[in-house]
Amino acid sequence: MASIFKKRKHSIGLTLLGFGLALIFAGCSTTTIQQYEATALTTLTWRVHYTNDPIEGKRGRFESFAFDSLLNRNGEKPEGAAVGPDERGLWWPKIPPKPSLDEIEDRQKRPYEKPGRPELLRNVEYQITYQQNGQTVTLPTNYAVYRQVVKAYPQNTPLRLILGVNNGSVEKAEPLN
């Protein structure tokens, strides 16, 4: 009897996996492009965690303070870059001013809240922009696609893009040479 349930669970699991993969690939398509640009928006942001109990650290809220951003285009050094390229080939803005103790205390919403130490967050948002049927298309992407476009850009190598669900993102870029 137990083996029947194991077989059913296995069968149901495989069916669900197959259905999930079918849904994922149903909304995906490919396109070939010849004019394109990859961007990576690098951002540095100071953030402080406010808690009711700093030892517990699970509850509370975050407050963001000063930030600075820099737009990388096709892997080339952008004007105003302060740091880089890093191990991923990205350039970063100058570090924004660290929040002062007065600024941190001013953001306390309740007298019993305890602010943590300011931490500097690094964030990157990748996008690819290309021409398709006479229109400019800009979609979010990932680091791997950004790097592939950066490598192809100097030679203007045609690329095949694999788009994500409902063509809402670029999941992969492959050179056509």
pLDDT in tens, the chain (177 residues): 555 545 555 555 555 444 444 444 456 799 999 999 999 999 999 999 999 865 655 678 999 999 999 999 999 999 999 999 999 999 999 999 999 999 999 999 888 889 999 999 999 999 999 998 889 999 999 999 999 999 999 999 999 999 999 999 999 999 997
Q: What is the per-residue pLDDT for 60?
A: 87
- Distances in Å between the Cα of 129 and the Cα atoms of 14, 29, 33, 123 are 38, 17, 10, 20
Q: What is the per-residue pLDDT for 28?
A: 79
Q: Is residue 159 domain-resident?
A: yes
Domain count, the chain: 1
Q: pTM (2 decimals)?
A: 0.79
Q: Is residue 117 domain-resident?
A: yes
Rounded Cα distance, 92 and 70, in Å = 6
The structure tokens listed for 2 are 């137990």
Q: Is residue 7 domain-resident?
A: no
Q: What is the per-residue pLDDT for 177?
A: 74
Q: Is residue 5 domain-resident?
A: no
Q: Is residue 9 domain-resident?
A: no
Q: Which structural domain range is residue 72 located in?
A: 26-175
Q: Is residue 111 domain-resident?
A: yes
Rounded Cα distance, 94 and 114, in Å = 29
Q: Spell out the alpha helix ranges (H) of the chain.
A: 2-26, 101-106, 143-152
Q: Are 177 and 147 in contact (CB under 8 A)?
A: no
Q: Is residue 4 domain-resident?
A: no
Q: Are 30 and 147 in contact (CB under 8 A)?
A: no
